[in-house]
A and B are shown apart, each in its own frame.
Chain A
Amino acid sequence: MEPILEVKNLTRNFGGLAAVSNVSMQIMPGELIGLIGPNGAGKTTLFNLLTGVYEPSEGLIEMQVDGKPKQIGGMKPYKITNLGVARTFQNIRLFKSMTVLENVEVAMQRNIQYGTMSAILRLPKFYSEERWIKEKAIEYLKDVGLYQKRNELATNLPYGEQRRLEIARALAIQPKILYLDEPAAGMNPQETADLTKLIHEIREKYHLTIILIEHDMSLVMNICERIYVLDYGKMIANGNPEEIKNNEFVIKAYLGEEI
């Protein structure tokens, strides 16, 4: 089987600092990958490179599109999204003044056929597609358990639910690859357990390849099949949770060296 995503020698410099340096990854379809590392290791920068927010300084990002590898490094974020890549943000970025339902509807933009003219003239196409979008959006909200709150403003949701809404919004893109940037940040143990369950459910239901950044080791070790470890922008280890736990470089990166 071909990898769905292949990262080759990816580097991103900010001035003299290599935030991500010479990173390579191979991700197979359907895998659930963890990306861990100490603060400032370059995890979010790597996500931003993979989703097009930053342009790579060097290296390639190849994604399987229609059975062929396609170089997506440096493409505009919306173009990468439209190839079937969705993400959530570490510092939640919902559309605050929109309702919960509208937030999900926005994400379904790429499935909409009618144009500005049909919208202004309110052609029959507009009504039929809007009805379809609404039904579909409600389905995603049910997946994450926010159906009851569909008419509330996104900004009024409690923190944990805002994170869930971000996931619903990402699902509405109908992605092949889903990047979750610290989905459990700021959650209590009960919420983290619910989130773990949710990640499993959506992965089964939508056949997703998931890559997640997380500091909560219980969550990472629990659900990830394979883990990549970044430290100072370099990939220092890669393997299953058991291997990572015993890897001397990883222990050194997290706990420091003996003197």
Chain B
Amino acid sequence: MTKGILNKINLMWVAIIVVLYLLLSYMMAAGIINSYYKITLFNMCINIMLAVSLNLVIGICGQFSLGHAGFMCIGAYSAGIITKMMPNYAGLILGILVGFVISTIAALIVSIPTLRLKGDYLAIATLGFSEIIRILVQNMKITNGAAGLSGIPALTTWPLLMLGVVLTIVICSNFTRSAPGRACIAVREDEIAAEAMGINTTKYKVIAFVIGALLASAAGALFACNFYVIKPTQFTFNKSIDILVMVVFGGMGSMTSSVLAAIAIGLLNMVLQNFTDARMIIYGAILVIMMIFKPQGLFGDREISLSKIVDKAKAKKEAN
């Protein structure tokens, strides 16, 4: 089965993704998904990228980070500023790359001292970092301060978003199912035992944190080029919590769960659009009920695995 990258399972995944992409594209062209639903769909895609990447840090590596909105903010502003000067795809790519560089530097600066902290302490440190980024952006000239950037070219298209989502999931799941990923899971499970296995725990925490930051920054860039306007208030503590809710709601440690939770919460938001005040109450109530009855999340740590489905089908065939 694992002869190389072109094995049956991977080809099946490619086929599924292509079919899904064509189906949704057709529905958009035919007007089944109207422009209102389209906004929801685009939002969902960006949220999937954010949730899956945060899941890598929290669910896989066990490092409780509340700084995801900070990295998203870096990506959004890098792309926003550069695409305003170069309103084409070269500008967007350059913007994403600049976002990557800044996010990596920021992630390293934050993570090397703070990842020694555990649990709540790390959460507070990353929260502080994310607020620093927001305040910086709010007070810099180049970012146009509290008024925010407007007139960002709408470069985020449906194929681009789909590509972003697929790449994010592929990167995270490939990483998880490899030696460095196993090391991260070992760190989550038992840090002392992980060290005793020869794992440099700080190194793997930093790797997971940086990958998470890069993907959040890419999501931020797509976010900026989707909405025409970005403001510092979009990247507050609340945004980090929104993403965290998706990860916890779905089930920590599972990519599938994060994707499904991002979709479910996207739909929920759409349905509750007209009840802005009630929305937060319902949202909170759902979370409280979840934590009481299903603290492991809606889907737990289960993953959709084609290879398992194929194996089961084969076993059934043989049994017949």
Q: Which residues of A are at the interface with B, using a C-beta cutoff of 8 A? A: 51-53, 76-78, 81-82, 86-87, 89, 93-98, 102, 105-107, 109-110, 112, 114-116, 119-122, 124, 126-127, 129-131, 133, 169, 173
Contacting pair B195 A102 (CB below 8 A): no
Residue of A nearest to B208 (CB): A116
Could you tell me if B2 and A127 are in contact, using CB atoms closer than 8 angstroms?
yes
Nearest CB of chain A from residue B270's CB, rounded to whole Å: 33
Q: Is the CB of B4 within 8 A of A127?
A: yes
Smallest Cβ distance from A120 to chain B, in angstroms? 5
Cα(A122)–Cα(B2), bound, Å: 11
Please indicate the chain A residues that have their CB under 8 angstroms from the CB of B211 in the complex. 116
Q: Are A93 and B185 in contact (CB under 8 A)?
A: no
Binding site for A on B (CB under 8 A): 2-5, 170-171, 174-175, 178-183, 185-186, 189-190, 192-201, 207, 211, 253, 301
B171 touches A120 (CB 8 A): yes
* Contact of B3 with A127 in the complex, beta carbons under 8 Å: yes
Contacts of A120 in B (CB 8 A): 170-171, 174-175, 178
- Interface contact B181-A98, CB-CB below 8 Å: no
Bound Cα distance from A115 to B189, whole angstroms: 22
Closest to B177 in A: A119
Q: In chain A, what residue has the closest Cβ to B198?
A: A81
Interface pair A102/B197, CB less than 8 Å apart: no
Given known pairs A98-B189, A130-B2, the reply for A109 and B199 (CB within 8 Å) is yes
Known: A93-B192, A96-B189. A119 touches B178 (CB 8 A): yes
Min C-beta distance of B317 to chain A, whole Å: 21
Known A-B contacts A78-B199, A116-B175; the reply to A102 vs B189 at CB < 8 A is no
Of B189, B198, B207, B253, the most chain A CB neighbours within 10 A belong to B198
Q: Which residues does chain A contribute within 8 Å of B207, judged by CB atoms? A: 116
Q: Verify B185–A98 contact, CB threshold 8 A.
A: yes
Docked complex Cα distance between A120 and B177 (Å): 9
Please name all residues of chain A whose beta carbon is closer than 8 Å to the beta carbon of B180 when the two chains form the complex.
115-116, 119
Q: How far is the CA of A106 from the CA of B180 in the complex (A)?
A: 9
Q: Which of A78, A119, A131 contacts B181 (CB 8 A)?
A: A119
Whether the pair B182, A105 counts as a contact (CB closer than 8 A) is: yes
Q: Kindly provide the distance from the CB of A183 to the nearest chain B CB, expressed in whole angstroms.
A: 15
Contact between A173 and B186, CB atoms less than 8 A apart? no
Q: A109–B183 contact, CB under 8 A?
A: yes
CB contact under 8 A between A107 and B4, given known A93-B192, A119-B175, A119-B181: no
Cβ of B194: which chain A residues have Cβ within 8 Å of it?
Answer: 95, 106
**Roughly how many angstroms separate A127 CA and B171 CA in the complex, as a whole number?**
16
B127 → chain A, closest Cβ, in Å? Answer: 27
> Contacts of A86 on B, CB cut-off 8 Å?
196
- Give me the 8 closest cross-chain CB pairs, A-B, nearest first: A119-B178, A81-B198, A77-B195, A93-B193, A95-B189, A110-B198, A112-B179, A107-B197
Interface centre among B181, B185, B189, B196, by most chain A C-beta atoms within 10 angstroms, is B196
Task: Write the nearest CB–CB distance from A68 to chain B, whole angstroms.
Answer: 21
Contacting residues, chain A, for B189 (C-beta < 8 A): 95-98
Closest to B182 in A: A106
Q: Does the CB pair B2–A106 fall under 8 Å?
A: no
Minimum CB distance partner of B7 in chain A: A127
CB distance from A173 to the nearest CB of B (A): 6
Measured CA separation A95–B5 after assembly (Å): 28
**Given A109-B198, A115-B180, A124-B4; A53-B185 close (CB under 8 Å):** no
Contact of A95 among B2, B186, B198 (CB under 8 A): B186
Q: Is the CB of B193 within 8 A of A95?
A: yes
Query: Knowing A120-B171, A122-B174 touch, does A76 contact B195 (C-beta < 8 A)?
Result: yes
Question: Which of chain B's residues have a CB closer than 8 A to the CB of A124?
Answer: 4
Complex contacts, B201 vs chain A, CB 8 Å:
78
- Shortest A76–chain B CB gap in Å is 7
Contacting residues, chain B, for A81 (C-beta < 8 A) = 195-198
Nearest CB in chain A to that of B195: its residue: A77
Inter-subunit contact A53/B197 (CB<8 Å): no
Q: For the complex, what is the distance from the CA of A133 to the CA of B178, rounded to whole Å? A: 11
- Name which residue of chain B comes closest to A48, CB basis: B192
* Chain A contacts for B2, CB-based, 8 A: 127, 130-131
Closest approach, in angstroms, between the C-beta of B118 and any C-beta of chain A? 16
Q: Which residues of A contact B5 (CB under 8 A)?
A: 122, 127
Contacts of A95 in B (CB 8 A): 185-186, 189-190, 193-194
A residues near B4, Cβ cutoff 8 Å: 124, 127
Chain B's closest residue to A118 (CB) is B178
When distances are taken between beta carbons in the complex, the residues of chain B under 8 Å from A130 are 2, 178-179
How far apart are the CA atoms of A150 and B196 in the complex, in Å?
A: 21
Q: A78-B199, A78-B200, A109-B179 are in contact. Are A97 and B301 (CB under 8 A)?
A: yes
> Contacts A78-B199, A81-B197 hold; do A93 and B190 have CB atoms under 8 A apart?
yes
Question: Taking A98-B185, A119-B174, A130-B2 as contacts, is the C-beta distance between A109 and B192 under 8 angstroms?
Answer: no
- Cα distance A6–B103 in the bound complex, in angstroms: 47
Asked if B179 and A119 make an inter-chain contact with CB atoms under 8 angstroms apart, the answer reads yes
Q: Given that A97-B189, A119-B181 are contacting pairs, would A173 and B3 also be in contact in the complex, using a CB cutoff of 8 Å?
A: no
Are B196 and A106 in contact, with the CB atoms below 8 A? no
Residues of B within 8 A of A173 (CB): 197-198
Q: Whole-angstrom distance between the alpha carbons of A96 and B188 in the complex?
A: 10
Beta-carbon contact of A78 and B179 below 8 Å: no
